[in-house]
Structure 1
Amino acid sequence: MSVMVNLDGVSKTYGRATVVGPITVDLRPGVIGLLGPNGAGKTTLLRLLSTALPSSTGRITIAGFDVCATHANRVAARRRLGYCPQEVTFPRGMTAFGFVEYIAVLKEWKDADTRHREVRRVLDLVDLGDRTAMKVSKLSGGQRRRLAIAQALIGAPDLLLLDEPTTGLDPEQRASLRGLLSGLAGTVLISTHQTEDVSALCDRVLVIDAGVIHFDGAVPEFLATAAGRVHLGPTASPGAVQTWKTGTGLVRSVGGQPAPDSSVVDPSVEDAYLLLRSAERTRQGVV
């Protein structure tokens, strides 16, 4: 598959603090999950890719356009991408239709009939087709989140950047969004804390911490890093990274030495993430 995005030695610094990088990575078509703790640099990385932030070093190429080179290249790249930030500010008094049309106008959809068809299309995609005339202020939190996603889908972008897209969505809405995203043909990068979304939707996972990528691979490869290291039994495993009592009354232990009468169980994306984070803290000397 062709490369949609290339980051070559990309970093972002504020004064003496390096928030991201240096990062070198290619993004190809498919759904990619971006995992990491709070403050790891996930949102900054998405803002760099959206061209909302300039990089401090390195080169970002989107759909063949070096966005660090010229303003014209940045504009050309922006026409190929959609971006839904974690926090969206909605103009006061607008309807759901009016807000998405406003974004479409900013994206230079000049013909009114064509623009209106596209607005209705993306609202239907996020199951808001029956809320077009409703004021944004009257929408629920989950509906506003879906409205924010709708504006990112305008024009069927080749690159879709979503920052915590399932926040505020109920299980049925999250499942519907997964179905939508899995059917897209382009490159979808999802920054999320919801590891179940990664296991259910993504074919590739990136784990970022302190601005640096610590894992990049297919989800089965990520799960394989935790194989044989997750146990279920009547008591916790000594030295486990995390333990908790499940609804069955048994204790799930991630890492550590198997406790007596425990059995090995298949790891989840969350298990693999917890083990990777523990190993990184150990490497850094953080208890």
Structure 2
Amino acid sequence: MGPTRLQDVSKRYGTTIALHPTTVTLGPGVVGLLGPNGAGKTTMLRLLSSAVAPTSGRIVVAGHDITGGHGERVEARRHIGYLPQEVVFPRGMTALGFLDYIAVLKEWKRTDERHREIRRVLDLVRLGDLGTRKVARLSGGQRRRLAIAQALIGAPDLLVLDEPTTGLDPEQRAALRGLLGGHAGTVLLSTHQTEDVSALCDRVLVLDGGRVRFDGSVPGLLATADGQVHLGPAAATGAVQTWRTGTGLIRSVGGVPGPGSRTVDPSVEDAYLLLRAAPVGGHEVPS
């Protein structure tokens, strides 16, 4: 159906620029979206989900222009699955009832097909035996998996996920990584869990101040921090961040290392911290 594309897309809320003009093309695979609070991540996700309209620019999903007329926007939405950061569940519904409600909203009109799809996504998130349980009786992690299930209905070409691993334990996070890694379309996930990015993503976008600061592969992001992370008995002078590790040595990100320190391989978190500390334009990679 073609890639997802933002062409010169921007978003303002009054005098606040949430997203500066941005051009990004997203093909198949898993793309991690990193950035501090207020960086514009949720705005980008809401724009791609068609929940809000851009101030300027054009967004195309599966060959349909979200920013076009009503018919194009409706067609685009058929190819999008969206998980917001907070999901409000209607009171009194079972897990099956909630998914049935969402599937009806997505215009699954044939009851037999709709129920088969609901069972499929419940099994994907390992809630197949809890379909008749009231949502109010599910644990926080189970409700989060149910919210993920509704985004998976119809195997969408574009899956837009805002902090999908919030509330999941390590085993559940690992299972979700396996699920998303097998998705045939494009997955764009916003996360503060840098280990999810390193374990799962083919590509990473870093947003800061409503601008794309980095767009490339995970190895490419790691390469920006080569030689700048050290482990030693004392913190490096002028380091961006330091902390004591379980070995008793201090890990320093950036700065000038002291005697007895050694260079270690950077993590995604290290590279992200250095990128955030660099002057705008210092480490930017054009889209």
Asked if 2 retains the 8 angstrom alpha-carbon contact of 1:33 and 1:202, the reply is: yes
SS at match of 2:234: coil
Q: Which amino acid aligns with 1:42?
A: K
Q: Where in structure 2 are the equivalents of 1:184-263 lying within 5 Å?
A: 184-263=183-262
Shift in Å at residue 280 of structure 1?
3.7
- List aligned pairs for 1:100-115, cutoff 5 A: 100-115=99-114
Match of 2:165 in 1: 166
Q: What letter matches 2:166 in structure 1?
A: T
CA contact (8 A) 1:3 1:29 kept: no
Q: Match of 1:219, as an amino acid? A: V
Partner of 1:46: 45
Alpha-carbon distance, 1:106 to partner: 0.5
Note closer, same or farther for the CA distance 1:3–1:25 as it changes in structure 2 (3 Å cut): farther
CA contact (8 A) 2:213 2:281 kept: no
SS in structure 2 at match of 1:90: coil
* AA of the residue aligned to 2:188: L
Corresponding residue number in structure 1 for 2:285: none
Percent identity, please.
71
Per-residue displacement from partner, 1:203-259 (whole Å, max 9, x unpaired)? 100000111101000000000000110001111111100000001111000000112
Contact 1:95 1:133 in 2 (8 A): yes
Q: Deviations over 1:172-210 (max 9, x none)?
A: 000000000001110000001110000000010000011
2-structure distance, mates of 1:219, 1:83: 24
Residue 156 of structure 2 aligns to a residue whose secondary structure is coil
The aligned runs of 1:41-190 (5 Å cut-off) are 41-190=40-189
Task: Determine whether 1:35 maps to 2:40.
Answer: no
Deviation per CA, 1:99-156: give whole Å up to 9, x if none. 0111001001111111111001000000101110111001111110000000000010
Q: Any idea what SS the aligned residue of 2:128 has?
A: coil
C-alpha distance 96-204 of structure 1, shift in aligned 2 (>3 A): same
Q: Is the 8 A contact 1:93 1:137 kept in 2?
A: yes
Q: TM-score, normalised to structure 1's length?
A: 0.96
How many angstroms does 1:93 deviate by?
A: 0.2
Q: For 1:179 and 1:229, how far apart are their aligned partners in 2?
A: 32
CA pair 249-281 structure 1, distance change in 2 beyond 3 A: farther
- With over 3 angstroms needed to count, the CA separation of the structure-2 counterparts of 1:10 and 1:72, relative to structure 1, is same
Query: 5 Å matches for 1:245-284?
Result: 245-280=244-279
Q: Which amino acid aligns with 2:246?
A: G
Q: Which runs of 4+ in 1 moved over 3 A?
A: 280-283
Normalising by structure 2, we get a TM-score of 0.96
Partner secondary structure for residue 98 of structure 1: helix
What is the identity, as a one-letter code, of the residue corresponding to 1:172?
Answer: E
State the Cα distance separating 1:69 from its structure 2 match: 1.3
TM-fit CA distance, 1:282: 10
SS at match of 1:34: strand
Matched, 1:26 2:25: yes
Q: Does structure 2 conserve the Cα–Cα contact (< 8 Å) formed by 1:4 and 1:159?
A: no
Structure 1 gap ranges (5+): none
User: Structure 2 CA distance, aligned partners of 1:280 and 1:23?
Assistant: 19
Q: SS of the counterpart of 1:193?
A: coil
CA distance in 1, matches of 2:281, 2:43: 25
Query: How many Å separate the matches in 2 of 1:282 and 1:10?
Result: 20
Q: Give the Cα–Cα distance (whole angstroms) in 2 for the partners of residues 257 and 15 of structure 1.
A: 43
Aligned length: 282
